Copies of this chain bind each other. A is one copy, B any other.
Amino acid sequence: MEKHKITIHDIARALNIDSSTVSRALNNSSRVTEKTKTKILKKAEELGYQRNVLASNLRKSVTNTIGVVVPRISRHFFSSVIQGVEETAYLAGYNVLICQSLEQLEREKQIVDTLVANRVDGVLISISMETTDYKHMQSLKNNDIPLVFFDRHCGIPDTNNVLIDDFKGGFDATQHLIDEGCRNIIHFSGPQVLEIYKNRLKGYKEALKMNDLPFKAENVISSRLMEHDGKENAKRLLDAGFSFDGIFFANDVAAIGAMKYLTNHGVKIPDDVAIVGFSNEPISRVINPALTTIDQPGIEMGKIATDLLLKHIKKQNGPLKPQTVIMDSNLIERLSSKK
């Protein structure tokens, strides 16, 4: 068995022609006659030729690869986005590098560095909860690598973003609780460095205001929204003897942690406390009672973000203006909020 990898030079030698002609034939250039092309393709097939992508990329300084960075691949919303990204990217002939920051700024920086080093053609990113400085994003700009934020963005101007209307999501969730009769609604929010959580909170406030309900700062609790955060803060509420009849969670996972704790401590959901989450994780259909939540169109978002990124990668007619797309979200009513 031959160990040596077949190159265009091997094909050229075998046919007694120049390697540049082989290269052009394999790239279907019009500068090579059909007859020669067929001959070359046949010989390439025969020798089992496979293009060396590394060499090709080096010469062309293009990788046909985009990087997508998410906090965690296991979150349903993010894996949906990734699916949308892959579908669109593959159709356009691009490969996708999937990376997870695990909500750690250090890893996020490391990932961006690696993507830059590997000369990806563009990057899609949803930032971690720890991301407060944006130097690593600057490195993308310095290297002229197009960047699109999706869902979790930085609040900086002149960037491309594909976002959910978090304000509306927060508003809808809260209004729904009010419609169900809640008058004393707690909001479990995420790290306030992230725009999405700020906006969900704004929506919450706005709904209260529209219904002439008082906003109380102590009714807003911020955490990293993991399951144990939900649980611990539920405990704190109960222990402190807080009175409330509804909770709007900025994500489903924290909601579920809290629901388990509340249920185990004699709180009836939805009768005593109505609950609404955010994200529509599959788990929210399984918990009892099923969790009312805000559905985010993940696959669609992935597609739109990728389309936007590819447009910037190709920018045939000079640089494009940065653009922000806001997508709608959807309240899904289930039993956890049915008074």
Contact = CB atoms under 8 A, between A and B. Distances in A.
A74 B73 CA distance: 6
Most buried by B among A53, A114, A256: A53
B76 A117 contact: no
Interface SS of A by simple majority? mixed
Contact of A119 (B3, B53, B287, B288): B53
B58 A55 contact: yes
Contact of A114 (B57, B73, B95): B95
Contacts of A144: 3
28 contacts: A1-B142, A3-B144, A50-B116, A50-B117, A51-B117, A52-B58, A52-B119, A53-B117, A53-B119, A54-B54, A54-B57, A54-B58, A54-B63, A54-B118, A58-B58, A72-B79, A73-B73, A73-B74, A73-B79, A73-B98, A83-B102, A86-B100, A95-B118, A98-B99, A282-B283, A286-B287, A287-B287, A288-B288
A97 interface: yes
B256 A286 contact: yes
How many identical chains are in the complex?
A: 2
A119 B74 contact: no
Interface string A37-50: 00000000000001
A52 B55 CA distance: 12
A3 B102 CA distance: 33
A56 to B, nearest CB: 10
A334 interface: no
A82 interface: yes
